[in-house]
Amino acid sequence: MSIEKSILIISKDKKNRAEFKSLFKKARIPFEFMSSFEKAKAMLKKSAFNTLILDVDSYYEAPLKITRFIEKARQISSGVTILLASSASFLNLTVTFLKKGATFYIKKPIQEKELRAVIDNFDNRKKIIVKNEKLEEQIEVLNSKLSGITLVDSLTDCYNYRYLVRRLKEELVRAQRYLRGLSLVLIDIESLRDINERYGEEFGDTVIIQVAGLLKKNVRENDVLCRTGGGEFYVILPDTARIGVGKFCERVYDDLHRHKFGSKDKHFTIRVKMGIAVYPSEGINSVATFMKGCRKAIKVSRSKAREAFTFYSKKDNLKEKSDDPETLKNKLDALNQMVSQSLIDMIYGFAKTIEAKDSYTGKHVENTSAVAEEIAAKLKLIPSEIEDIKHAAILHDLGKIGVEEKILLKKGALTVKEMEKIKKHPLIAAQILKSIHALSGAVPAILHHHERYDGKGYPHGLKGDEIPLSARIIAVADVFQALTSDRPYRKAYSIEEAVEIIKKETGTHFDPKVVKAFLKILK
């Protein structure tokens, strides 16, 4: 055989590579191995390979990457023959890749005679594909069902919402026909909003990919993992009843809770909640009730801080009792007023706790809140963001409950050790408030209001736009109120003097955009 007909084998599994090596040496067919798709594309550009054998079993967890490689290989060399080597377990995936541009398929274990026939008779590719009647039937079914539909989430390589609905329907029919159990789990990354706000959405995507990787390690071969958007994942567990899905959720929660997500220099644990719906159980009899059941259950789980997951129960009715529009409006208005008032009472209760230790703080937080709220409005933030900033301004010094009064009231300069204790108050406050769902939007500003625009602040040394905008707003309002207030160690500055100090530190301590808005409200 000439060098033009040598084979490039793409496989990363050591056992599979050994089997290929033995087969090709026995058949005396020249070949080369490559485990990386990028290196394989580079090799294809500069070498005379006209045949690729792609070991599907090695890359079944990343179907999107296989599809992209096939498309790229076709762009590099339109005449290249792409053979898919796959075991029976991955026939469905193999059919998908054939539709994306692969030439044909060889079923494992590969026989020497079949390999020779494939390589020497390129004109008979179709005959080799249709040798298996079941595979031909699957192709026909998938041709009608999967045409033009993407079933894989591009970020995580998990299945997407379309596939979730279709597969859940199929599994429910099967469970009803054979009297089997079926469970659906909704997993939500609660802390994703905080991560996106602190570090940016690109960093948040990294965390989502890491969570998906951990979930893939926990699901069984016949379980179905889907991502439906944001930090939401669904897992379909066929042949699984209440006890089995409960153990699954315990295992998943423990793994997610212990794992450090992020990067080497920014790593942290995440908060997740799970909602579970199980068939057979009262009220769960369709795809819609499965999905609604999971969402009802996860709402209950969110309302109970110590419960990582909750099973849907019929007492959480899927349909609320209907009222006339006017009655419903009155109920909602009353509920909103009650929640708002309770939240305000709680916020000021926290503020009074600090005021008892440091009389300066009580008045200071109220003034800081007013200034911060005006700055946020001037920057045209949306009402919910302004509300978060208002709460953060009132609670930003909450962590001082962990600092001794003698340090808070000291008239002279603080020692290095005393200053280190003071610097812990944002972390203490964030730790206290992180589990209060209604205040979660205020936590980033509280945690980072002592960061500096030049990166020399604390507790994490964030710089520029790395610092949440809400924290940059609180920083200006906080310093302005501190400068214009009497302190144990000095008299208050005048407003004019305070403004000059803030102007001088614009670009180093403070965000220029926030200072500009602050100066406008003073006028």
pLDDT tens string 59-107:
888 888 888 988 888 888 877 788 888 888 788 788 888 888 888 888 8
Say whether pLDDT at 289 is over 70.
yes
- How many Cβ atoms sit within 10 Å of the Cβ of residue 399? 23
**Residue 120 confidence (pLDDT):** 67
Confidence of residue 24 (pLDDT cuts 50, 70, 90): confident
**Residue 314 confidence (pLDDT):** 73
Say whether pLDDT at 345 is over 90.
no
**Residue 361 confidence (pLDDT):** 47
28-53 pLDDT per residue, tens: 888 888 888 888 888 888 776 778 88
**Residue 318 confidence (pLDDT):** 41
CA pair distance 188, 276, nearest whole angstrom: 12
- Distance set, CA 65 to CA 38, 56, 163, 306, 508 (Å): 11, 11, 18, 39, 44
Residue with tokens 């699901």: 219
Per the omega criterion (within 30 degrees of 0), is the bond before 30 cis?
no
More confident: 317 or 105? 105
**Residue 512 confidence (pLDDT):** 95
Distance of CA 35 to the CA centre of its chain: 29
Residues in the chain: 523
- How many Cβ atoms sit within 10 Å of the Cβ of residue 66? 24
Q: φ, ψ for residue 378 (rounded to 5)?
A: -65, -35
Number of H helices, E strands in the chain: 22, 12
Domain 327-522 indexed as CATH 1.10.3210.10: yes
**Residue 276 confidence (pLDDT):** 93
Which whole number is the average pLDDT over 9-16?
A: 88
Residue with tokens 């897992």: 235
3-state secondary structure 410-461: CCCCCCHHHHHHHCCHHHHHHHHHCCCHHHHHHHHHHHHCCCCCCCCCCCCC
CATH homologous superfamily for 161-311? Reverse transcriptase/Diguanylate cyclase domain (3.30.70.270)
CA pair distance 252, 309, nearest whole angstrom: 11
Paired with 9 in beta bridges are 33, 53
More confident: 437 or 126? 437
CA pair distance 9, 33, nearest whole angstrom: 5
**Residue 27 confidence (pLDDT):** 81
Rg (CA), the chain: 31
Q: Are 12 and 65 in contact (CB under 8 A)?
A: no
More confident: 380 or 80? 380
**Residue 127 confidence (pLDDT):** 47
Alpha-carbon torsion angle 75, 76, 82, 84, nearest 10: -80
Fold held by 3-145: Rossmann fold (3.40.50)
Say whether pLDDT at 125 is over 90.
no
Percent of the chain with pLDDT over 70: 81
Residue with tokens 């529009």: 325
For CA atoms 387, 388, 390, 394, give the dihedral sign: positive
More confident: 260 or 116? 260
**Residue 342 confidence (pLDDT):** 47
390-404 pLDDT per residue, tens: 888 888 887 887 777
Average pLDDT over the chain, rounded to an integer: 81
Does the pTM of the predicted model rise above 0.75?
no
DSSP state of 491: P
Say whether pLDDT at 470 is over 50.
yes
Which whole number is the average pLDDT over 337-346?
A: 47
More confident: 94 or 128? 94
The full set of domain ranges for the chain reads 3-145, 161-311, 327-522
Confidence of residue 447 (pLDDT cuts 50, 70, 90): very high
349-379 pLDDT per residue, tens: 555 555 545 544 445 566 788 899 999 999 9
What amino acid occupies position 82?
A: I
SS3 for 348? helix
Q: Are 30 and 6 in contact (CB under 8 A)?
A: yes
**Residue 328 confidence (pLDDT):** 56
**Residue 147 confidence (pLDDT):** 47
Say whether pLDDT at 407 is over 90.
no
More confident: 178 or 476? 476
Give the residue among 358, 376, 369 at the shortest CA–CA distance from 481.
369
Say whether pLDDT at 255 is over 70.
yes
Which whole number is the average pLDDT over 486-503?
A: 85
